[in-house]
Amino acid sequence: MYPTAPNRRVLLVGGAVAAVLLVAVGGVTAATMADQDDRQGQPPAAAPLPPDAGFTEFPATTSTGDTPSPDSTPTEPDTEPSPDSTTGPEAEALEQLEQLRQQDALTMVFDGRFAAQLASKSVGIVDPLQTTAAGSHTFTAADILAEHLALRSAPSQGTSVVLVLSTDFGKRQLYQGSPLWVTFALGDFSDREAVQRWCARRFPELAGERLTNQCTVRKLEAHP
């Protein structure tokens, strides 16, 4: 059976629509392919970097639970002991300091006379203007003893050098809760200026703050 005329018109319309769609799709496909052809051989655009790219923020401290990377080698903790004031050289130095203090206490008179203070240190004190034999500014008991013995054995220029604790006289001064080992040069000092003149003669290589740090005026007064 042959289709009627109206059916043939429907087919013609449908064919026309299909043809239009094919042309459109073909145009889009051709345009896409042309665009791809134009971009062939060019590197792709790089993705934008985050604001902190290239910067790594490390924590101020590393927790003990951190796991080292496979190629890292764990290091042994620093186990070098700090000076022990109860055993070894530190204990021996403290014992010798105490013996010198008791020996010199027999000759000390705290009656307000002037004296030259040559050293004043406690264990662990830091003096940025003086250096120990090891090149440190932190003084151990052994360093304090060595300094006192050096001052004691040097030419006295008419004075005697003695050792006391800062709690033996005056206001019983403490430094961070500990008494200081104080080295004095005792002489016939009539006043403050006499002590200052003696200090300048005793340490001619020093001046200004360094001289005052090494040799200064003190009055030996009894406990209030």
What is each CA distance from 98 to 113, 121, 154, in whole angstroms?
Answer: 24, 14, 21
| DSSP sequence for 114-168 | EEEEEEEE-TT-B-TT---TTS-SB--HHHHHHHHHHHHHS--SS-EEEEEETTS
Domain that holds residue 136: 91-221
Is there a domain that residue 150 lies in? yes
**Mean pLDDT to the nearest integer, 170-195:** 95
Does residue 9 lie in a domain region? no
What's the pTM? 0.62
Residue 10 resides in a domain: no
Span 142-163, pLDDT tens digits: 999 999 999 999 998 899 999 9
In a domain, 154, yes or no: yes
Counted domains in the chain: 1
Which band of pLDDT confidence, cut at 50, 70 and 90, is reported for residue 105? very high
In-domain check, residue 136: yes
For residue 118, pLDDT over 50 is answered with: yes
pLDDT at 166 over 70: yes
* pLDDT (mean) for 173-202: 96
